[in-house]
């Protein structure tokens, strides 16, 4: 099964929406396999947002992402990476579809509640960027037979 990395961003912590954000993923039927709180620093943010470091708004993103600790989670499921991206909605929360985390809960491009790996290739880099092997867990979810058909597990 695929695994993906998410960060629940400082705006969700400040607004008391951590549980709401997690609920979209839990309700969908995904499995939480890693969970912790971290204070991000410039070094990690430069690595994580390497595709944005040359943008004029990078300092704003870095200051925002350092403004409180973040929740770091790894989730597992069939086609989990794409499923979670769809649940997040597009980057600009004002344009994100209703029913998505950003579309339902946000109004900002920057303060858009959640980061999620954008491809399986990215997830394979981002999960070990934030989690050591012994911080990730594998376990049987007893409700899998109701979440997936037998040939989908």
Residue 78 CB burial class (10 angstroms; 0-12, 13-18, ≥19): middle
Q: How far is the CB of 147 from ligand UDP (least distance, A)?
A: 26
Stretch that binds Mg ion, among 37-45, 78-86, 113-121, 145-153 (CB under 5 A): 113-121
Q: Are 136 and 123 in contact (CB under 8 A)?
A: no
Note whether 109 binds ligand UDP by CB under 6 A: yes
Which x/- pattern over 44-83 shows residues binding ligand UDP (rule: CB under 6 A)? --------x----x---x----------------------
Residue 58, CB half-sphere, CA atoms under 13 Å: how many? 13
Crossing angle of helices 80-88/120-130, nearest 10°? 90
Q: Which two tokens stand for residue 137?
A: 């867990």
* Among 14, 23, 39, 91, interactor with ligand UDP by CB under 6 A: 91
Q: Are 62 and 42 in contact (CB under 8 A)?
A: yes
Residue 109, contacted partner among Mg ion, ligand UDP, none, CB below 5-8 A by kind: ligand UDP
Q: Which two tokens stand for residue 52?
A: 């944005």
Which x/- pattern over 114-153 shows residues binding Mg ion (rule: CB under 5 A)? ----x-----------------------------------
Q: Which two tokens stand for residue 58?
A: 């990078």
Is residue 48 annotated as part of the catalytic site, yes or no? no
- Annotated catalytic residues are 115
Binding site for ligand UDP (CB under 6 A): 52, 57, 61, 91, 109-110, 112, 115, 118
């Amino acid at each position: 099964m695929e695994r993906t990395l998410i960060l629940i961003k400082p705006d969700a912590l400040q607004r008391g929406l951590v549980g709401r954000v997690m609920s979209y993923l839990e309700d969908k039927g995904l499995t939480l396999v890693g969970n912790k709180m971290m204070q991000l620093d410039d070094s990690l943010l430069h690595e994580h947002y390497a595709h944005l470091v040359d943008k004029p708004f990078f300092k704003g993103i870095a200051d925002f992402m350092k403004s409180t600790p973040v929740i770091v989670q790894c989730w597992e499921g069939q086609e989990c990476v794409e499923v979670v991206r769809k649940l997040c909605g597009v980057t600009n929360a004002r344009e994100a579809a209703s029913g998505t985390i950003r579309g339902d809960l946000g109004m900002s491009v920057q303060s858009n509640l959640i980061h999620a790996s954008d491809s399986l290739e990215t997830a394979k880099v981002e999960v070990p960027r934030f989690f050591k092997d012994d911080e990730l867990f594998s376990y049987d979810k007893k409700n899998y037979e109701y979440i997936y058909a037998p040939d989908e597990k």
